[in-house]
Structure 1
Amino acid sequence: MNHATNSQRGGQRTLDLKLSASGVESLEFIATELHPRAEQLFAGAWSACYATVFGKVAALKKITLPPDYSVDIQPSIGSAGKAYCLAAEFTVRVPGMATEVVEELVQLAHQTCPYSKSVHGNIEVKTDIVTA
């Protein structure tokens, strides 16, 4: 189920979406533009799925994540000749965890997440890891 509300942030109307995923109560896609572009909606759904999978692969590895871990995806559209192409920049924040542990979880989550698997090899994906 998806849940959407309108809100005001900084005098600008925005859209807040609450997304659900299997085994997770809800994930929030907060303060996007009132009329989001398709790539923003895709990135919102992808980040909700990926954040859920990230938590699940951590649990399978018996790694306890901090409650404030998060995944942000910044989509962009570029072009190659006359064709348009998508790119995505992930920021995975896991405060207090060793970078190499997060890197392993990031790779496992990309191998498991249905969105990541569906775009693998089709779009450029960059991942930044923040542990501070």
Structure 2
Amino acid sequence: MEKIETILASGRTHATVNRESHVRRGKFGAYNLTLSAAGLETIEYIGIDPHPKAERLFAGAWSACYTTVFGMAAQLKKVTLPPDYSVDIKVNIGQTDAAWLLGAEFTVRVPGLSKDVVESVAHLAHQICPYSKSVHGNIDVVTNVVTV
């Protein structure tokens, strides 16, 4: 699998579980979209800019799915997640020589749990998530875990 040498554009997202769906948490001027995955928890996707690029929309759809599946993976592993866990995804489009490529960087924030536990849940979530499965082996995906 090729890796991006030169990043040309990126789309960033920040997704959290919004347990109070009537409360909007996006900042003024930010692209704020409420998404759900398979009728489960409501995921609030907050973009950085008011006009989303294709990379951001892909990251937003992926983050809604992955964040929901992350909660399911935690349940399967009998791990109790704190209410403030979140997933940031950065989807990059770039080049290596003449090839145009996509890549993704995940930052999974789960305060209060051990890094090993969160990495295990994140790995299982990538195995379950349809978006993660669809790009597996096709694009470079890096997952970073933050537990503080």
TM-score (norm 1): 0.87
Asked which structure has the greater RCO (Cα within 8 Å, sep 6+), the reply is 2
1:85 to 89, 101, 109: 101
TM-superposed deviation, 1:127: 1.1
TM-superposed deviation, 1:34: 2.3
Distance in 1 (alpha carbons) for counterparts of 2:114 and 2:99: 40
What is the aligned partner in structure 2 of residue 32 from structure 1?
48
Note the residue ranges of structure 2 that are not aligned, 5 or more in a row: 1-23
- Residues 101, 139 of structure 2: 8 Å contact kept: yes
Q: Percent identity?
A: 60
TM-superposed deviation, 1:17: 0.6
- Counterpart of 2:55, as a letter, is E
What is the aligned partner in structure 2 of residue 114 from structure 1?
130
What is the aligned partner in structure 2 of residue 76 from structure 1?
92
Distance in 1 (alpha carbons) for counterparts of 2:119 and 2:27: 36
1:55 to 59, 71, 96: 71
TM-superposed deviation, 1:23: 4.4
TM-score (norm 2): 0.78
Note the residue ranges of structure 1 that are not aligned, 5 or more in a row: none
Total equivalences in the alignment = 124
Q: Deviating runs (4+, > 3 A) in structure 1?
A: none
